[in-house]
Amino acid sequence: MDDVMQQSTDLAQDYRAKAEAIQVIASAAGPQGWQRPSPCEEWSARDVIDHLVDTQRDFLGERGLSVPEGDADDPAQRWRGHYRAVADLLADPSVGGTAYDGYFGPTTIGETLAQFYGWDMLVHRWDVGRALSSEVTFTDRELDEIEAALPVFGEQLYTEGICAPAVQVGPDQPRQVQVLARLGRDAR
């Protein structure tokens, strides 16, 4: 397998793994749980799922790719249909390997979905879990990935609609609590 195909396969697998982790939480939610508030100010658990779907659909649509709207009445079904459609697109190396000039420089569709939107899925997995009373524990690798993006985002991370200001927690708190605190989330 050549390097481009391998990279495309790896990015597609990374996207799918992050999306499936959200699906596990979403599948366990009862219909009433979707209206519970999330750690994202003024967003319910449903709003977080809608955000993930809508931003990814918008990104792909801007690149001439179509993903079905999905079942708006059932957030778990909407998420499942969405991420499977995106994963199917990414399985095609000609899609995942499509280059474009991104906000942070030259990149590909696959890299953006696995990294930028992958970061969003990691963080929002915790938000959905918290809203639905489902414990989410990040691996060290996931925490590394979340932390690695913070210097890239810089102060823009704390602009309206992104993350709330950092929460002050003590140095004695577990790493996950400290990382989430930097994202304006109180995980204590």
Query: Does one domain contain both 95 and 158?
Result: no
Query: Does one domain contain both 39 and 107?
Result: yes
Query: Does one domain contain both 82 and 162?
Result: no
Query: Does one domain contain both 99 and 147?
Result: no
Query: Does one domain contain both 27 and 105?
Result: yes
Interatomic CA distance for residues 125 and 172, integer angstroms = 24
Interatomic CA distance for residues 128 and 123, integer angstroms = 9
Query: Does one domain contain both 113 and 175?
Result: no
Domain assignment of residue 130, yes or no: no
111: domain range?
A: 3-118
Query: Does one domain contain both 94 and 170?
Result: no
- pTM of the shown model: 0.93
Domain assignment of residue 89, yes or no: yes
| pLDDT tens per residue, range 107-143 | 999 999 988 999 999 999 999 999 999 999 999 999 9
Interatomic CA distance for residues 88 and 72, integer angstroms = 21
**Total number of domains in the chain:** 2
| pLDDT tens per residue, range 65-101 | 999 988 888 999 999 999 999 999 998 989 999 999 9
